[in-house]
Chains A and B, each alone.
Chain A
């Protein structure tokens, strides 16, 4: 986890199987201003602590902006919606 102490609320849009863990369509996670994607994953793991199904799904999920899937070590984009994408199965 990043050690920068200034926190920024990051809103994460939920899709697919993540919808079964609550009524909300977004989750807010407080992260350092210079947080990376991996930090967001840690923050969500803390949110879902004790929920083994959610934690397993989180481990298999990617994060994305509206333009592209993000790399784990990328800095979290500022002022862009972030989505969590569980494994996909269109068609």
Chain B
């Protein structure tokens, strides 16, 4: 059984599947994070968000991040990291991260690490659609290091 699951998907994300994956007889802790589309950003009312992503590179980056988490908090971690692609309405889940481990500290830290690193490193972009009919691409974190 694989203990690592990374995916990008056009279908709704399933937190139950994440928790089932992040489970083992020796794991006394599991942490779950769900990121959802909210209705307000920078003072503008949001109706929906369209996610664009580079699927192949995204999965590779997710695997790297998970490997780093295991390097820091233990190879026994079970990890789950999935992200939506396409247009999502307010309230829909855009990302699910989960981790399980023998004790809670590793699960909390690993789960947060997956989320924070994903936001800074994964090739994912979002375009917000506002209730006034306007749309705008959200500014993000630059991946380049050139002068």
Contact = CB atoms under 8 A, between A and B. Distances in A.
B121 A88 contact: yes
B57 A90 contact: no
Contacts of A49: none
A91 B125 contact: no
Interface residues of B, number: 32
A91 B139 contact: no
A90 B52 contact: no
Given A17-B137, A89-B125, A66 B144 contact: no
A68 B95 CA distance: 22
Looking at chain B's contact residues, the main secondary structure is mixed
Interface stretch (A1-9, A27-35, A79-87): A79-87
A89 B60 contact: no
A16 B35 contact: no
A48 to B, nearest CB: 16
A19 B51 CA distance: 12
B138 interface: yes
Contact of A90 (B56, B60, B124, B146): B124
B144 A15 contact: no
Contact of B54 (A38, A85, A89, A91): A85
Nearest to B124: A90
A15 B58 CA distance: 13
Contact of A89 (B57, B115, B138): B138
A89 B139 contact: yes
Contacts of A91: 35, 83, 94-95, 115, 118-119, 124
A87 B139 contact: yes
A75 to B, nearest CB: 15
A85 to B, nearest CB: 5
A90 B83 contact: yes
A89 B126 contact: yes
A17 to B, nearest CB: 4
Given A17-B125, A19-B52, A87 B143 contact: yes
Interface of B: 35, 51-54, 56-57, 60, 83, 94-95, 115, 118-127, 137-146
Given A89-B125, A91-B94, 14 more contacts: A60-B142, A64-B57, A68-B57, A68-B60, A83-B123, A85-B143, A86-B137, A86-B140, A88-B140, A89-B140, A90-B51, A90-B95, A90-B124, A91-B119
